[in-house]
């Protein structure tokens, strides 16, 4: 059997054949570091992590790149308006470098908190790869795919007959002023900037000289340049959130395939959105939740991970904070049940279980099924340490790690047990809240209560 994944390009779930035997190369469109990443952005990187873990489970060597967009992402996806990083620097009275270093560090910390594996992952910055971007633009110019306007060098999509092939984009739907911006000088609304000139009226912090004049690269070209530099002209898998299908990924394909005359990636995968208050959680509208916001509400990053794993990566999720609290409780119950069962050390036959695990792991990142299967095994007490380790190598929930609970927390828990026994529910609720504020959670069950670390 082989790993099966859903390919946005073919719109089919396919058995994966990598370019090199037992090695996979993957490029994940990374964060724009002008603000905090929200928990929706982090969902997309968790999806990349499950992909990596799946290949590692199957014995593949994984080459992984997540770019850091630190220049060129303008307020509109199609290279119009102000640069998000320059704008943030101006508003916060900081240098562009201070802004991007700060948010990059927090992004990397959040990856760790979510137990997203980053060993050997390459995180290239767009600003460290300007010559590589210029080289591709030069190549496109030589082959007549570009034209010049008063504000930059543009890619002429009419020169690429397959433009819009990813996701079968209805080009008429990408109308001026909608996903792509209106600009008088563009030949068609969906032509996009490869290089933008610095405005004569305003000194930019981040700008470079180029064969076309001083300026900065468009957002799309950085991914074409960095994927090629680190993974080659064609690599195995390219991922991002579904919002990237219509514009960003079709533009990457147009640039790379016109410059290199080979497919950019063999498999394209897209993660569904995290929605909140009936809409996509979005960095630009400012109304979002971060990992540290969750921690402040005593929801641990791993409980959030558990919450996400209950839904297939490509489906959208609508959530309320209460859903995360319920997941946190379920997550701790699962860990505690596993511990109790393993403490009893019963012999089990795992060959059938191992086959089922492998079947689920190979089924297009089916984490909800894997989690449900683990719960079935726990209910039937059919687990041993090795089974849990195997499943957790995909889920990444640290299911076998248990922190010691400090004495003062245990004391509060005992006081609460007494209050509950005396039916003093007001006091028992107060003590539960006090314990929660200290970063722990009380779980009540028929067998009594226990306290766990968030």
Provide the binding-site residues for ligand AMP, judged by CB under 6 A: 29, 31-32, 40-41, 43-44, 240-241, 243-244, 271, 273-274, 280-281, 283
Rg (CA), the chain: 25
Instruction: Examine residue 265 and tell whether it contacts Zn ion (CB under 5 A).
Output: no
Instruction: Examine residue 39 and tell whether it contacts Zn ion (CB under 5 A).
Output: no
Which residues have a Cβ under 8 Å from the Cβ of 312 and sit 6 or more positions away?
272, 364, 365, 366, 367, 368
| H/E stretch holding 4 | strand 4-7
Q: Do the beta carbons of residue 149 and residue 197 sit within 8 Å?
A: no
Strands (E), 8-140: 12-15, 23-28, 61-66, 74-76, 80-83
Residue 29 or 106 with smaller CB distance to ligand AMP: 29
300 binds, options Zn ion, ligand AMP, none, Cβ within 5 to 8 A by partner type: none
Residue 238 or 416 with smaller CB distance to Zn ion: 238
Instruction: State in angstroms the smallest separation of the CB of 200 from ligand AMP.
Output: 29
Q: Do the beta carbons of residue 42 and residue 114 sit within 8 Å?
A: yes
Instruction: State in angstroms the smallest separation of the CB of 136 from Zn ion.
Output: 14
Residue of 193, 260, 197 lying closest to 222 (CA atoms): 193
Residue 26 or 360 with smaller CB distance to ligand AMP: 26
Task: Kindly report the three-state secondary structure assignment for every residue of 393-421.
Answer: HHHCCCCCCCCCCCHHHHHHHHHHHHHHH
| Angle of CA points 263, 267, 269, to nearest 5° | 130
Q: How far apart are CA 428 and CA 26, in angstroms?
A: 51
Instruction: State in angstroms the smallest separation of the CB of 315 from ligand AMP.
Output: 11
Nearest residue by C-beta to ligand AMP?
241
The 114-153 contact track toward Zn ion, x by CB under 5 A, reads ----------------------------------------
Residue 223 or 299 with smaller CB distance to Zn ion: 223
Residue 68 or 431 with smaller CB distance to Zn ion: 68
Residue 44 or 255 with smaller CB distance to ligand AMP: 44
196 binds, options ligand AMP, Zn ion, none, Cβ within 5 to 8 A by partner type: none
Instruction: Examine residue 29 and tell whether it contacts Zn ion (CB under 5 A).
Output: yes
206 φ/ψ angles, rounded to the nearest 5 degrees: -110, 105
Instruction: Examine residue 223 and tell whether it contacts Zn ion (CB under 5 A).
Output: yes
In DSSP terms, 76 is beta-bridged to 80
223 binds, options Zn ion, ligand AMP, none, Cβ within 5 to 8 A by partner type: Zn ion
Residue of 21, 26, 112 lying closest to 58 (CA atoms): 21
Instruction: State in angstroms the smallest separation of the CB of 335 from Zn ion.
Output: 36
| H/E stretch holding 217 | strand 215-217
Tell me, what DSSP letter sits at residue 246? I
**What angle, 0 to 180 degrees and rounded to 10, lies between the N-to-C axes of helices 301-309 and 39-57?**
70
Instruction: State in angstroms the smallest separation of the CB of 241 from Zn ion.
Output: 10
41 binds, options Zn ion, ligand AMP, none, Cβ within 5 to 8 A by partner type: ligand AMP
| H/E stretch holding 318 | strand 317-318
44 binds, options ligand AMP, Zn ion, none, Cβ within 5 to 8 A by partner type: ligand AMP
Residue 44 or 384 with smaller CB distance to ligand AMP: 44
Instruction: State in angstroms the smallest separation of the CB of 233 from Zn ion.
Output: 16
39 binds, options ligand AMP, Zn ion, none, Cβ within 5 to 8 A by partner type: none
Which structure tokens are listed for 273? 């959105």
Q: Which residue ranges make up the site for Zn ion (CB under 5 A)? A: 29, 223
């Amino acid at each position: 059997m082989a790993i099966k994944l859903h390919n946005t390009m073919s719109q089919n779930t396919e058995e994966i054949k990598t370019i090199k035997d037992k090695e996979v190369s993957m490029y994940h469109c990374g964060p724009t570091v002008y603000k905090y990443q929200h928990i929706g952005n982090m969902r997309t990187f968790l999806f990349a992590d499950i992909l990596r873990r799946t290949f590692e489970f199957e014995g593949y060597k994984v080459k992984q790149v997540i770019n850091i967009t630190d220049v060129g992402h303008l307020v509109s996806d199609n290279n119009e308006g102000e640069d998000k990083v320059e704008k943030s620097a101006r508003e916060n009275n900081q240098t562009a470098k201070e802004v991007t270093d700060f948010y990059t560090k927090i992004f990397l910390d959040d990856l760790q908190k979510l137990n997203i594996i980053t060993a050997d992952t390459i995180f290239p910055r767009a600003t460290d790869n300007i010559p590589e971007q210029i080289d591709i633009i030069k190549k496109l110019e030589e082959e007549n795919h570009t034209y010049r306007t008063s504000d930059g060098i543009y890619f002429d999509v009419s020169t690429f007959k397959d433009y819009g092939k990813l996701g079968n984009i209805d080009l008429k739907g990408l109308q001026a002023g909608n996903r792509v911006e209106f600009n008088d000088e563009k030949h068609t609304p969906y032509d996009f900037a490869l290089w933008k000139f610095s405005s004569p009226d305003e000194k930019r912090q981040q700008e470079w000289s180029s064969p076309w004049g001083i300026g900065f690269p468009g957002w799309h070209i950085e991914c074409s340049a960095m994927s090629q530099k680190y993974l080659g002209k064609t690599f195995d898998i390219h991922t991002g959130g579904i919002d990237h299908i219509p514009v960003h990924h079709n533009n990457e394909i147009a640039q790379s395939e016109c410059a290199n005359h080979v497919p950019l990636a063999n498999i394209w995968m897209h993660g569904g959105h995290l929605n909140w208050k009936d809409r996509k959680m979005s960095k630009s509208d400012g109304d979002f939740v971060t990992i540290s916001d969750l921690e402040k509400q005593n929801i641990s990053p791993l409980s959030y991970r558990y919450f996400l794993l209950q839904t297939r990566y490509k489906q959208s999720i609508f959530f309320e904070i209460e859903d995360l609290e319920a997941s946190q409780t379920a997550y701790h119950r699962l860990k505690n049940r596993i511990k109790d069962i393993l403490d009893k050390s019963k012999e089990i036959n795992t060959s059938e279980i191992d086959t089922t695990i492998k079947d689920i792991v190979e089924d297009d990142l089916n984490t909800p099924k894997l989690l449900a299967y683990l719960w079935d095994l726990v209910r039937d007490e059919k687990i041993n340490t090795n089974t849990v380790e195997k499943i957790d190598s995909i889920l990444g929930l640290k299911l076998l790690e248990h922190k010691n609970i400090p004495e003062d927390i245990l004391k509060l828990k005992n006081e609460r047990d007494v209050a509950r026994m005396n039916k003093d529910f007001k006091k028992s609720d107060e003590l539960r809240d006090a314990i929660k504020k200290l970063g722990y959670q009380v779980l009540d069950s028929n067998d009594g209560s226990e306290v766990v670390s968030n």
